[in-house]
Amino acid sequence: MRDAPGPAPVDQPGQEPGRQLDPELERAARLYRLVDHADPHAVRREAARRIRVARMTGQWAADDPGVRVEDTVASDGAGRAVPVRVYRPVAAAAPYPAVLYLHGGAFISGDLDFEHPRCLQMCRGTGAVVVSVDYRLAPEHPAPAALEDSVLAHRWLCGAGGRALSVDTGRIAVAGTSAGGALAAGVCLTARDEGELPPPVLQMLLYPVVDDTMETGSARAFTDTPAWDSPNCAQMWRHYLGPAGTRDGAPPHTVPARTADLSGLPAAYVMTAEYDPLRDEGAAYARRLADAGVPTELHQYAGTFHGFDTLAPATVSRRALQQQHAVLRGALHRPRQT
């Protein structure tokens, strides 16, 4: 397991001693409107507003000439279906590798537009089909609804959906940001336990939500950080776990850190941000994966906050995205063993 090095913190006026944001991220941090997640509807309105503003200012890429985009549904053939958006690289040749992508949004917000620009970039940057999942949201649909939808989409991609898309089912990665990181980890845990499908070749967990205890140092310390803070973490878990959220009552794999045995899982790439309440739980999960014998890389980006890689056009953001694409290319385009 490898940690990415970064510069030592330097104090700046207006910041806590020892807290040093990357200079290119400072403006984004000042402009970002942090919404109280006690009200899911307010969170969704703010997410929609940000997309509208990004579109008007040209910062939201609607399309890419190198990527074909199609909205469809992933179905289990027995009446259950989940909306998905499929991104296909124009220049690549079938059979394609694929990435099942689970968006962030604290389990309570997000849709197929929520991380559309990221998925466009991921498709172009990896040469893989990207399938983004519009899973059900809490609190209207508490756990395990989001995980059930994500698992259904994975089964579809490994079966009828993958055949229709000319996907090589032996080269599928699962990726997720924030709450989507919990779902990506949960998909991998479910696939391992069921043992019926080809296992994903990689789980990419980007500043992931994995632990509901909120007992880490970063969860205790970061009560006022840009983009995401620990008070909103508490609201997120309350909405998502609902009546199932007792210490022993959460549905299996909805809180990945509660899973005792992490052996036999796909190789993992875990990325964390220095000033993120989720930082330490992501790092702890990566270390547990490594201790269980899972090939694991852990990268912490210094001077960054939650969601930094898509919230600002900073050098560190571009570097993080480039590394994500490189890791996916390495996992997905590796020759298959016979």
Other Cβ atoms within 10 Å of 17 Cβ, number: 8
Going by the DSSP 8-state scheme, the letter that residue 263 receives in this structure is T
- Which residues, including other chains, have CB under 8 Å from residue 326's CB and lie 6 or more apart? none
The C-alpha torsion from 260 through 264 and 266 to 269, rounded to 10°, is 50
Q: Which residue in the list 178, 218, 230, 317 is annotated as catalytic?
A: 178
212 is catalytic: no
- Please say if 116 is a catalytic residue: no
| 129 within 8 A of 98, measured Cβ to Cβ | yes
Q: Indicate if 178 belongs to the active site.
A: yes
75: helix, strand or coil: strand
Angle (deg, nearest 10), helices 315-332 and 116-126:
50
Give the full edge-to-edge strand order of the sheet including 268-275.
67-75, 81-89, 129-133, 96-102, 167-177, 202-206, 268-275, 296-305
Catalytic-role residue among 306, 309, 317, 325: 306
- How is residue 109 written in tokens? 């917000």
- For residue 78, what are the contacts with CB-CB under 8 A and spacing of at least 6? none
**Catalytic site residues?**
178, 276, 306
